[in-house]
Amino acid sequence: MGLLAWEQACAERGHGGYLLLDGAQAEGSHLALQAMRVPYASLFEGKREEVLPEIAPLLVALSGLDMQRRERLVSWILPLAFSVPCLSWYESPLPLPALAAHLRNFHQVGLSDGQAMMMRWYDTRILPIWLQALDPEQARLFTGSMLSISYIDRFGEAKTIHRGDQSGPPSAPLPLDQPLVTLDDRQFGLLVDAGDLDALVNHLKFVIPDETRKVGPRTLLDFVATYQREAMGAGLDDLDRQSQYVLLALYTSGAGVAHDAVRALMQDPPATLDAYAEALQALPGEVWEAGPPLWERAHAV
């Protein structure tokens, strides 16, 4: 990973190196950091969620630690990052309190209907979509005080998604519950779709655990994403009917949903789960035999 070398390079440039740990993916991490005597700031501080310290996003100062604590911190946090999508890291000239205050301004986002919602942008499955969804001015506002942003993705790969030659000022403090960024419907849709994909994949892993374990994680994600988009394009806007459609695709490597009988059904799919499931079961047997299950294809393992 090279986090220690990265931190040293930050220090040589006169900047701080910070780790951001999503506590919702690693509950109770604040207690481990306290035991290691590692400085951190909760991004829930001053928010309504500060009563939930065990799942708070924690901004951790890697810079400024003695070598023993630095090595202990990295050796503890990396196994977490490779097991669940929970770790990103940032280079910034700001001290820990100032960077944490800046990041707290993105705790909530406004929506086009005047409502606001909590934004878990630090979930590393969402982080790259978050940066893609922001318009140029919003992105400059978010990244202004940071020279780099990197993270470990769901497949255990380290990626850098932002680099800057110079940093700008941090955003100013906001009143409680006043969002700094408002998302339009397109931006909101991108972020919702990212969350829906994970929800569907997790549901399928629960329904057919043995089968999905035989499919490579990246292959499974890409396959489910493709057929979820097809389902949504046909008007299946709920997770339950989407899962039924994707299950047919999984059991036939996609050939089943390409059958004329399924294409006809998807022209006007039943609106309820029961009716849709019954319609799928009433399809000709050749639909379910149109192709081998995805997990039986040699390249999927």
Dihedral, 123, 129, 135, 137 alpha carbons, nearest 10: 40
Residue-wise pLDDT for 265-274, tens only, equals 999 999 999 9
Q: How many Cβ atoms sit within 10 Å of the Cβ of residue 41?
A: 21
Kindly state the average pLDDT of the residues 157-182.
Answer: 83
Task: State the pLDDT at residue 165.
Answer: 82
Determine which of 4-13, 145-154, 169-178, 216-225 has the lowest per-residue pLDDT on average. 169-178
Task: State the pLDDT at residue 176.
Answer: 65
Instruction: With a cut of 60, say whether residue 1 has pLDDT above it.
Output: no
> How many residues belong to the chain?
301
Are the beta carbons of 181 and 162 closer than 8 angstroms? no
Q: How far is CA 293 from CA 24, 245, 246, 257, in A?
A: 34, 14, 12, 13
Are the beta carbons of 43 and 59 closer than 8 angstroms? yes
In this structure, what token pair is assigned to residue 147? 């020279």
Mean pLDDT estimate for the chain: 91
Task: State the pLDDT at residue 190.
Answer: 86
Residue-wise pLDDT for 177-212, tens only, equals 678 999 999 999 888 888 888 889 989 999 999 999
Kindly state the average pLDDT of the residues 266-294.
Answer: 93
Q: How far is CA 295 from CA 117, 213, 219, in A?
A: 38, 8, 10
Task: State the pLDDT at residue 166.
Answer: 79
Kindly state the average pLDDT of the residues 285-298.
Answer: 89
Give the integer Cα–Cα distance in Å for 138 and 143: 9
Task: State the pLDDT at residue 177.
Answer: 65
Q: Of 87, 104, 86, which Cα lies nearest the Cα of 145?
A: 104
| Residue 219 one-letter amino acid | T
Q: What are phi and psi of 215, to 5 degrees?
A: -105, 135
Residue-wise pLDDT for 203-259, tens only, equals 999 999 999 999 998 899 999 999 999 999 999 989 999 999 999 999 999 999 999
Residue-wise pLDDT for 105-151, tens only, equals 999 999 999 899 999 999 999 999 999 999 999 999 999 899 999 99
| Residue 160 one-letter amino acid | T
Task: State the pLDDT at residue 174.
Answer: 72
Are the beta carbons of 21 and 29 closer than 8 angstroms? yes
Q: Hey, which bits of 93-251 come out as E strands? A: 108-110, 116-118, 148-152, 158-163, 181-182
Give the integer Cα–Cα distance in Å for 5 and 26: 25
Global pTM reads 0.80
